[in-house]
């Protein structure tokens, strides 16, 4: 299984799930800090059993667009046809972070500046540029910097970009530690702003005072990523059933054990799912009384 950085829900949830799956005799070899658009390709070819998949990445693969443009529509659609979903889950909230004394107090102030927009060829690029646009920063008015997730925090501290947009659970220890080194400000979008459809995001908020040295006097509206657990169609029905069952029956306890995961049980397991559900997952949901959307069968 591949997942994103351990500092995000997209990494933290699979890490936590691995221990629950082991109790169900499912051995998980987890690789963290991956570029999930590449993980999707590995799942589609059967080189990888499962991975956390951004909904927008699957849609892009199916259309042969974005990071999969070189494949073209026909090859992209063929690759996407081998991917199945087990369940959807809410990911982390984008934190657009600047140093409090940088003079960047809102998104338009970042015109002419360097903005971190995620890893190369990652689904986050479109999400972060959309977030910046929603905040009032024109797409052609700043320099978008791409770098691996794992290197971004240090690169920001080294001055390689002016706005660091990271994906973190609200209350993240990583952001808290960053604010203790130097006061930060979190850039927000207008309250109530809906994310662009098709990018796999929902509205979210980073409350003022969440972090020790956070300069915001008001809450910062932002966007939260949605994800789904993707597998190859060749996975056995029994394994898909078990993996789905373990997540659904453990997600509330995961939230009790770690407050950074306490939002998992608040979302429908179909939210953010853009690939057809695996038959094993469908069996679990139907046995458990869920109405599976027709477009996911």
Give the model confidence (pLDDT) of 55-97 as tens digits.
989 999 999 998 899 999 999 999 999 999 999 999 999 999 9
Same domain for 246 and 213? no
The verdict on 71 and 28 lying in the same domain is yes
Report the pLDDT value the prediction gives residue 245, as an integer from 0 to 100.
98
Quick one: 246 and 202 in the same domain? no
Q: Let me know if residue 127 belongs to a domain.
A: yes
Q: For the chain, how many structural domains are there in total?
A: 2
Residues 157 and 267 in one domain: no
Is 124 a member of any domain?
Answer: yes
What average pLDDT is seen over the chain? Answer: 94
Over residues 136-146, mean pLDDT: 96
Q: 103 and 212: one domain?
A: yes
Q: Is 130 part of a structural domain of the chain?
A: yes
Query: Quick one: pLDDT at residue 120?
Result: 86
Last residue of a domain, one of 225, 240, 263: 225
Residue 124 has pLDDT above 90, yes or no: no
> Is 4 a domain residue?
no
Q: What is the pLDDT of residue 297?
A: 94
Rounded mean pLDDT, 119-144:
92
pLDDT of residue 4: 83
Range of the domain at 21: 9-90+226-296
Domain boundary among 172, 200, 225: 225
Residues 6+ apart with CB under 8 A from 140: none
Evaluate if residue 122 carries a pLDDT over 80: no
User: Do residues 79 and 14 both lie within one domain?
Assistant: yes
Last residue of a domain, one of 225, 247, 266: 225
Q: Please check whether residues 85 and 163 belong to one and the same domain.
A: no
Residue 270 pLDDT = 97
Cβ atoms of 10 and 4 within 8 Å: the answer is yes
DSSP run (H or E) holding 252: helix 237-257
Q: What percent of the chain has pLDDT over 70?
A: 100
Do both 96 and 221 map to the same domain? Answer: yes
The predicted structure's pLDDT at residue 198? 82
What number of other Cβ atoms are within 10 A of residue 180's Cβ? 12
Residue 15 has pLDDT above 80, yes or no: yes
Three-state DSSP class for residue 229: strand
Residue 198 lies in a domain: yes
Residue 1 belongs to some domain of the structure: no
Q: What pLDDT band is residue 195 in, cutting at 50, 70 and 90?
A: very high
What percent of the chain is predicted at pLDDT more than 90? 87
Residues 125 and 207 grouped into a single domain: yes
Give the model's pLDDT for residue 147.
Answer: 92
* Distance between CA atoms of residues 254 and 183, nearest Å: 31
Q: Is residue 141 part of a domain?
A: yes
Write the CATH number for 156.
3.40.190.10
- List Cα–Cα distances, 120 to 67, 126, 146, in angstroms: 9, 11, 5
Domain co-membership, 80 together with 100: no
Mean pLDDT of 191-214: 93
Contacts of 159 (CB under 8 A, 6+ apart): none
As a residue count, the chain comes to 297
Strands 83-99 and 184-187: antiparallel
Confidence band of 150 (pLDDT split at 50, 70, 90): confident
Would you say residue 2 lies in a domain? no
The pLDDT of residue 8: 82
Same domain, 220 and 110: yes
Residues whose CB falls within 8 Å of the CB of residue 228, separated by 6 or more in sequence, listed in order: 52, 53, 55, 58, 85, 86, 87, 88, 89, 272, 273, 274, 275
pLDDT at 232 over 90: yes
Render pLDDT for 90-112 as a digit per residue (tens, 0 to 9).
999 999 999 999 999 999 999 99
**What b/e readout covers 9-24, taking b as 16+ CB neighbours within 10 angstroms?**
bbbbbbebbbebbeee
**Do 218 and 122 share a structural domain?**
yes
Q: How far apart are CA 91 and CA 11, in angstroms?
A: 9
142: helix, strand or coil = coil
User: Residue 197: its pLDDT value, please?
Assistant: 82
């Amino acid at each position: 299984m591949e997942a994103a950085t351990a500092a995000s829900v997209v990494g933290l949830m699979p890490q936590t799930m691995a221990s629950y799956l082991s109790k169900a005799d499912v051995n998980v070899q987890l690789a963290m800090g991956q570029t999930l658009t590449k993980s999707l390709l590995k799942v589609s070819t059967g080189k990888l059993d499962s991975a956390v998949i951004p909904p927008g990445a699957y849609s892009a693969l199916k259309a042969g667009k974005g990071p999969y443009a070189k494949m073209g529509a026909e090859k992209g659609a063929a690759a996407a046809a081998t991917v199945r979903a087990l369940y959807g889950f809410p990911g982390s909230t984008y934190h657009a972070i600047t140093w409090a004394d940088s003079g960047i107090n809102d998104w338009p102030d970042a015109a002419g500046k360097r903005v971190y927009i995620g890893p190369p060829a990652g689904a986050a690029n479109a999400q972060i540029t959309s977030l910046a646009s929603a905040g009032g920063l024109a797409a052609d008015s700043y320099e978008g910097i791409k770098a691996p997730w794992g290197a971004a925090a240090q690169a920001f501290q080294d001055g390689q970009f002016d706005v660091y947009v990271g994906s973190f659970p609200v209350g993240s220890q990583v952001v808290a530690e960053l604010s203790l080194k130097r006061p930060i400000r979190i850039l927000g979008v207008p309250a109530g702003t809906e994310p662009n459809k098709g990018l796999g995001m929902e509205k979210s908020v980073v409350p003022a005072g969440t972090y020790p040295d956070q300069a915001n006097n008001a809450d910062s509206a932002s966007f939260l990523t949605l994800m789904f657990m993707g597998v190859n169609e060749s996975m056995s029905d029994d394994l898909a059933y078990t993996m789905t069952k373990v997540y659904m029956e453990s997600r509330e306890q995961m939230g009790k054990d770690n407050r950074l995961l306490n939002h998992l049980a608040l979302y429908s397991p179909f939210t953010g799912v853009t690939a057809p559900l695996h038959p094993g997952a469908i069996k679990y949901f139907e046995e458990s009384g869920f109405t599976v959307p027709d477009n996911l069968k």
